[in-house]
Amino acid sequence: MFTGIVEEVGEVTAVEQLTDAARLTVRGPLVTSDAAHGDSIAVSGVCLTVVTVSGGEFTVDVVNETLQRSSLSKVTVGDTVNLERATPAGGRLGGHIMQGHVDGTGVFLSRDEHGVTTFALPAALSRYVVEKGSIAVDGVSLTVASVSGDRFSVALIPTTLEATTLGRREDGDPVNLEVDVVAKYVEKLTAPHVAASAHNV
């Protein structure tokens, strides 16, 4: 589990294409300080399993399913990524509950002088995004300020802009999105009852 509180901005130092996956090497001195083979690290919001750790760098294998659902398919050497270690049991829940399972990609649209930042999101995800609700963008836990159709806005404080990759995003850049998992469970659990009620009307 993750909370969306980014610990450091890492740098992709190598990308190796494998048969059915890609192997990324990422420099992250802080998150590797206590990392070992098999640990989980969120890379721009994607939960990945550490393969090796050496000299402040770690490698992860990204399978095709993840490449197709996230922006990691587009990363190249020199790109920066948000990094967060898995939350330990008993740790502080500083953001909101995240799984590191990206639901899809959105697009950075604009940011005004007050830090209000607008993104486009897939229509299939828009029903899970509500004003004052939580959403993860590139692994950053954010509160939704407003929603309109296939767009939503968040207010980014200077600390978030400086401490994550969101301050470096430009128009048209893809971003990873993870919606609130509770909303998806509620939808699935109530769907049969809603359908039954509609049938009986």
Rounded distance between C-alpha atoms, residue 58 and residue 41, angstroms:
10
Instruction: Give yes or no for residue 92 having a pLDDT over 80.
Output: no
Last residue of a domain, one of 85, 118, 145: 85
The single-letter DSSP state of residue 164 is: S
Q: Which CATH number belongs to the domain containing residue 161 in this structure?
A: 2.40.30.20
User: Three-state SS for 92?
Assistant: coil
Strand partners, 80: 11
Answer yes or no: do 80 and 131 share one domain: no
194 assigned to some structural domain: no
**Which residue range forms the structural domain that includes residue 121?**
104-187
pLDDT digits (tens, 9 = 90+) for 14-66: 999 988 899 999 999 999 999 999 999 999 999 999 999 999 999 999 999 99
- What rounded mean pLDDT belongs to the chain? 92
Answer yes or no: do 142 and 74 share one domain: no
CA-closest candidate to residue 63, choices 103, 22, 102, 101? 22
pTM: 0.88
CB neighbours of 192 closer than 8 A, spacing ≥ 6?
Answer: none
pLDDT band of 194, cuts 50, 70, 90: low
Average pLDDT over residues 186-197: 77
200 assigned to some structural domain: no
State the total domains in the chain. 2
Answer yes or no: do 116 and 80 share one domain: no
Rounded distance between C-alpha atoms, residue 28 and residue 6, angstroms:
12
Q: Residue 201: its pLDDT value, please?
A: 54
Q: Is residue 33 within 8 Å of 7, Cβ to Cβ?
A: no
Token pair 């095709």 in the structure block, residue: 64
182 assigned to some structural domain: yes
pLDDT digits (tens, 9 = 90+) for 12-25: 999 999 888 999 99
156 assigned to some structural domain: yes
Instruction: Give yes or no for residue 159 having a pLDDT over 80.
Output: yes
Query: What is the CB-side half-sphere exposure of residue 196 using CA atoms within 13 A?
Result: 5
pLDDT digits (tens, 9 = 90+) for 93-137: 777 888 899 999 999 999 999 999 999 999 999 999 999 999 999
Strand partners, 47: 42
